[in-house]
Chain A
């Protein structure tokens, strides 16, 4: 696999003066295309900020993010939007579904953005949502809502699937199901997955594990012995 994503000397801080807090303090790593990469770290380690910068919804103070050779910092607002539109799929800890669109329509919101979207029905089947496709988000459980959120992201057939604590609000069983789905998408559609989590167990299903602490990369490991999401235990 060739290098797809490059993070170089990435720095980011919030606040000024005494209140200044360096969240990212010179971060470097690369991710290969199709890789399942987990960004692991405790709260405040900067993993969500990093993900947001990779996703083009936040900007670094220094350093750069390069995707397929294109530096995000050189993109203007319009190009960044296009970048997100064409290459990224986002899954948030909170599902942020549109309350007055049903399951299928919420997924179509993602499909609409893509030039080569996946078949919505197929995605619904893959996610086990066929029976719920006409339900509104408030008629679904948390896990089901997260499935829809994943569906909305993967239906775009994105180059990178960005997952920010996708199981943070879910119970053990549902979390494993969601992880299995993301794994499926990674395998089936070949999307690069970058997942932010503080759950140590999840690293076992990843190809690439980057451990963050205090805004720097502490460990950057390739997982030679990854296991299926279904086999994860925590």
Chain B
């Protein structure tokens, strides 16, 4: 016989549908939103990573001043360094030989002429001819008759041969000397003589492009700069979000995000390079996930810059100059970051030397791992799961709490039934299974619906948010273990164990105690004496005392709600606050990063700007604690630390000095994030080399703009083995106008910082809104559940006082006012607790992200957090009053114990 208690489950679900609906909605929102975020995140990353293979992403690219010869391409492909020195010596020798030969010829002619003239004059003198006219005629005649004869005689002389040999030798020596001088300088600069050099063979692809003006609305005004590639490219291909590749001359496919931003779409016509093109596709180039026009741009520009694809025929008809860009792929993939850096260094040596010996020039070189346009979005997406993680853990906590109170409430409510069943011989395990069934089914139901929505609607929402920020390829949903574990397995296990724990603990009581509703282990023996207040007031107070355990649950719940609301309001606030504060956090109005400290002539780049001050800079890694909550895709690596070498008496940053050679000052953000203080030892590692540096924290510099460390320039040069006059750039209070643009890699100004923070706001802001509304709904659900439980627990008493003749308004004031007092009183206290909890949780999760910004809430948001709770409660109170009105009189009559 099947256990007849099973039949209760669906009926329970139907009869108490309000409660279960709220739980299911809660579960669906929680699982749906978080799972959607995770699935969207993982799917997007997976699609991006898959695209790198499928769309044949380069390992690097270079641009030459003219089309490369086959010989040059073969040379670069081999990865071998060309013998530049021999090349120049041979080239120099050839030139020198020509010049020496020319000089010898001239000298020889002169000497032969002299010999002939001397001979003729001697003969004339012997014949007594003194007439200069006759002598000149004789000389001319002698030159005509015997020049070749004399020349032959001179050339056959030993003296001549010796002189010629000496001249060539001297010239050759001079060539070698000159080449050696030049070579030493060039090889020093590019370490071309590196004994550890290993050739890196590559496969080279022609990847020419043109840059044209783009006029989106055909009004004759240039709207953007567009970089155009051919549709038959074999490398760095595009994924089509919409439409197709161009097939005819008048067709073009442009970047999807640029199209969205400027408001054009498929079927529209735009003017590119003066020609009209119809947009037939919206694409995402694998090497342009963000529209960084130049790799040194701090932020991409999806409005003013575009990438596009046209047919080879259309490409050939455009008029701007062709950029002879070549992309390459390593024959053997590097296996680590260090190897990646080694490969690119070695390849560059081959590239420089081969280009030199083939009479070409390098215009640009960029290994892919340093390419902002293909890596910026990925690292940004990887890092942005922290918010989702925080929300996920808060909600798991809330879910655990809800399950605990609901099951506890159910058992209290069912005490008589449990007592009877136990007295009749039902075993504890049978009842445990019975009471576990319902929450389990509800959770499973919520999990299934939540996951379905997570993989569909919410995933699409998350993906849409990513599309809003970056030029990403078409996204295909992937299975996310993180999502399943965090949103489904953990809540299910939590629900299972919490219920099991509560039920088993409660069922330890004897059947008799269940029958007597004697479920509290300690019971107050005497009633507390109350002051001589009016009866209703005393009655209310009694209700308050009697419901103390329920109110404790309520307070606990209110803390959870405040925690959720702090997250909902605080996260966008923190972001806005950071965005607002970031520009003021800059230590210099202008920060110029130079390509090199030397110009093309080898002179140190100087400026006449008075406020300019040199600084050196490098990036190192601070090892993060590996026991992070989230692992795998998007877990983020070590923390990137910017190490500055600054003048000891810098006017921009004041260093705490120490006699210790390895002392370092760190930024306040660094100190806060990793809880470092003066005297601590830190180790920073090089990212692309196997090098580590140990430092002692000497001081903390008030700078929240980034994770940074500061050394005086002497220590910096010594530690990083730099020449005394080497530096990375200038800090300046004013714009520097006397440094040629070609030497400036980046200028960071307030405007750039604003661009970065605006982008941050743009990409994260949408997530914030989703979280905010989800949390407000969840908070409302929670307060509804909590208030409902209090009324349910008092149903019997309420029914009884109704029988006694109390009016609904009196009953309302008896049962709702104490709850309202508790909620109002604890709303502020709970907010304070929730706020500090949030600060703590936020800090923990910041550790997973790169960079740092502290949790911040505007005073208005603080008020709103409390206000939302109170408004929510006011609404729930109205429902409670209706619930009180509906409690029938016979509840008390039919269940007298």
Q: Residues of A with Cβ closer than 8 Å to B? A: 19, 52, 55, 57-58, 78, 81-86, 88-90, 92, 94, 96, 98-101, 105, 108-113, 117, 138, 152-153, 156, 169
A111 to B422: give the CA distance in the assembly, Å: 14
A86 to B425: give the CA distance in the assembly, Å: 7
Q: Chain A nearest CB: distance from B186 CB in Å?
A: 90
- Asked if B832 is at the interface of the complex by the 8 Å CB criterion, the answer is no
* Partner pick for A82 among B1, B5, B425, B894, CB 8 A cutoff: B425
A111 to B428: give the CA distance in the assembly, Å: 18
- Asked if B450 is at the interface of the complex by the 8 Å CB criterion, the answer is no
Contact call A90/B4, Cβ cutoff below 8 A: no
Residues on the B chain within 8 Å of A117, using CB: 1
A–B complex contacts, Cβ < 8 Å, 26 sampled: A57-B510, A57-B512, A81-B426, A82-B425, A85-B426, A86-B425, A88-B423, A90-B424, A92-B515, A96-B417, A98-B5, A100-B8, A100-B12, A100-B15, A101-B4, A101-B7, A101-B8, A108-B1, A109-B4, A109-B421, A111-B1, A111-B4, A112-B1, A113-B426, A138-B894, A152-B424
Given contacts A55-B423, A110-B424, contact A96 B416 (CB under 8 A): yes
Contact call B515/A113, Cβ cutoff below 8 A: no
- Asked if B608 is at the interface of the complex by the 8 Å CB criterion, the answer is no
Given contacts A92-B515, A111-B1, contact A85 B424 (CB under 8 A): yes
Residues on the A chain within 8 Å of B895, using CB: 94
Residues on the A chain within 8 Å of B5, using CB: 98, 101, 109
A57 to B513: give the CA distance in the assembly, Å: 9
Contact call B428/A81, Cβ cutoff below 8 A: yes
Given contacts A85-B427, A100-B11, A138-B894, contact A112 B420 (CB under 8 A): no
Residues on the A chain within 8 Å of B8, using CB: 98, 100-101
Considering residues B7, B15, B416, B423, which has the most beta carbons from chain A within 10 angstroms of its beta carbon?
B423
Residues on the B chain within 8 Å of A86, using CB: 425
- Asked if B473 is at the interface of the complex by the 8 Å CB criterion, the answer is no
A150 to B390: give the CA distance in the assembly, Å: 55
Across the two chains, which residue of chain A brings its CB closest to B9? A100
A138 to B891: give the CA distance in the assembly, Å: 10
A156 to B424: give the CA distance in the assembly, Å: 9
Contact call B897/A94, Cβ cutoff below 8 A: yes
A58 to B416: give the CA distance in the assembly, Å: 16
Residues on the B chain within 8 Å of A92, using CB: 420, 515
Q: Chain B nearest CB: distance from A59 CB in Å?
A: 8
A117 to B12: give the CA distance in the assembly, Å: 27
Give chain B's interface residue range (CB within 8 Å of chain A): 20 to 34
Contact call B896/A58, Cβ cutoff below 8 A: no
Across the two chains, which residue of chain A brings its CB closest to B420? A96
Q: Chain B nearest CB: distance from A126 CB in Å?
A: 19
Across the two chains, which residue of chain A brings its CB closest to B416? A96
Majority secondary structure of chain B interface residues (helix, strand, loop or mixed): helix
Given contacts A82-B425, A85-B427, contact A58 B512 (CB under 8 A): yes
Residues on the B chain within 8 Å of A94, using CB: 416, 895-897
Q: Residues of B with Cβ closer than 8 Å to A? A: 1-5, 7-8, 11-12, 15, 416-417, 419-428, 510-512, 515, 525, 894-897
A109 to B3: give the CA distance in the assembly, Å: 7
A92 to B5: give the CA distance in the assembly, Å: 20
Q: Chain A nearest CB: distance from B322 CB in Å?
A: 80
Considering residues B11, B422, B425, which has the most beta carbons from chain A within 10 angstroms of its beta carbon?
B425
Residues on the B chain within 8 Å of A52, using CB: 512
* Partner pick for A113 among B11, B416, B424, CB 8 A cutoff: B424
Contact call B425/A84, Cβ cutoff below 8 A: yes
Q: Chain A nearest CB: distance from B512 CB in Å?
A: 5
Residues on the B chain within 8 Å of A100, using CB: 8, 11-12, 15
A69 to B3: give the CA distance in the assembly, Å: 31
Residues on the B chain within 8 Å of A138, using CB: 894
A78 to B428: give the CA distance in the assembly, Å: 9
Residues on the A chain within 8 Å of B11, using CB: 100-101
Q: Chain B nearest CB: distance from A224 CB in Å?
A: 33
Q: How many A-B residue pairs have CB under 8 A?
A: 84
Q: Chain A nearest CB: distance from B792 CB in Å?
A: 14
* Partner pick for B510 among A58, A105, A110, A156, CB 8 A cutoff: A58
Q: Chain A nearest CB: distance from B433 CB in Å?
A: 13
Across the two chains, which residue of chain A brings its CB closest to B511? A57
Residues on the B chain within 8 Å of A156, using CB: 424-425
Given contacts A84-B425, A90-B424, contact A112 B419 (CB under 8 A): no
Residues on the B chain within 8 Å of A101, using CB: 4-5, 7-8, 11
A96 to B895: give the CA distance in the assembly, Å: 8
Residues on the A chain within 8 Å of B422, using CB: 57, 81, 84
Residues on the A chain within 8 Å of B4, using CB: 101, 105, 108-109, 111-112
Contact call A81/B417, Cβ cutoff below 8 A: no
Q: Chain A nearest CB: distance from B525 CB in Å?
A: 8
A98 to B6: give the CA distance in the assembly, Å: 12
Residues on the B chain within 8 Å of A82, using CB: 425
Q: Chain A nearest CB: distance from B11 CB in Å?
A: 4
Q: Chain A nearest CB: distance from B20 CB in Å?
A: 13
Residues on the A chain within 8 Å of B426, using CB: 81, 85, 113
Across the two chains, which residue of chain A brings its CB closest to B3? A112
A90 to B7: give the CA distance in the assembly, Å: 22
A157 to B421: give the CA distance in the assembly, Å: 16
Across the two chains, which residue of chain A brings its CB closest to B525? A19
Contact call A89/B417, Cβ cutoff below 8 A: no
Q: Chain B nearest CB: distance from A116 CB in Å?
A: 12
Given contacts A94-B416, A108-B1, contact A85 B423 (CB under 8 A): no
Considering residues B1, B896, B897, which has the most beta carbons from chain A within 10 angstroms of its beta carbon?
B1
Given contacts A100-B15, A101-B4, contact A169 B423 (CB under 8 A): no
Q: Chain A nearest CB: distance from B203 CB in Å?
A: 73
Q: Chain B nearest CB: distance from A130 CB in Å?
A: 18
Contact call B1/A96, Cβ cutoff below 8 A: no
Residues on the A chain within 8 Å of B1, using CB: 108, 111-112, 117
Across the two chains, which residue of chain B brings its CB closest to A78? B427
Q: Chain B nearest CB: distance from A89 CB in Å?
A: 7
A96 to B517: give the CA distance in the assembly, Å: 12
Considering residues A52, A86, A109, A117, which has the most beta carbons from chain B within 10 angstroms of its beta carbon?
A109
* Partner pick for A90 among B3, B423, B427, B525, CB 8 A cutoff: B423
Q: Chain A nearest CB: distance from B12 CB in Å?
A: 6
Given contacts A52-B512, A98-B417, contact A113 B7 (CB under 8 A): no
A144 to B4: give the CA distance in the assembly, Å: 20
Q: Chain B nearest CB: distance from A79 CB in Å?
A: 11
A112 to B895: give the CA distance in the assembly, Å: 25
Q: Chain B nearest CB: distance from A169 CB in Å?
A: 7
Extra 9 A-B pairs, beta carbons < 8 Å, given A85-B424, A96-B417, A101-B8: A55-B423, A57-B422, A86-B425, A98-B8, A100-B12, A108-B1, A111-B1, A111-B4, A113-B426
A14 to B95: give the CA distance in the assembly, Å: 121
Residues on the A chain within 8 Å of B2, using CB: 112
Q: Chain B nearest CB: distance from A26 CB in Å?
A: 21
Contact call B897/A153, Cβ cutoff below 8 A: no
Residues on the B chain within 8 Å of A105, using CB: 4, 7
A169 to B7: give the CA distance in the assembly, Å: 29
Considering residues A19, A52, A100, A108, which has the most beta carbons from chain B within 10 angstroms of its beta carbon?
A100
Across the two chains, which residue of chain B brings its CB closest to A96? B420
Q: Chain A nearest CB: distance from B411 CB in Å?
A: 14
Across the two chains, which residue of chain A brings its CB closest to B427? A81
A105 to B421: give the CA distance in the assembly, Å: 14
Residues on the A chain within 8 Å of B417, using CB: 96, 98-99
Considering residues B3, B420, B510, which has the most beta carbons from chain A within 10 angstroms of its beta carbon?
B420
Q: Chain A nearest CB: distance from B257 CB in Å?
A: 56
Residues on the B chain within 8 Å of A152, using CB: 424
Residues on the B chain within 8 Å of A98, using CB: 5, 8, 417
A203 to B896: give the CA distance in the assembly, Å: 26
Q: Chain A nearest CB: distance from B142 CB in Å?
A: 141
Residues on the B chain within 8 Å of A153, using CB: 424
A169 to B427: give the CA distance in the assembly, Å: 29
* Partner pick for B423 among A57, A99, A109, A111, CB 8 A cutoff: A57
A160 to B419: give the CA distance in the assembly, Å: 18
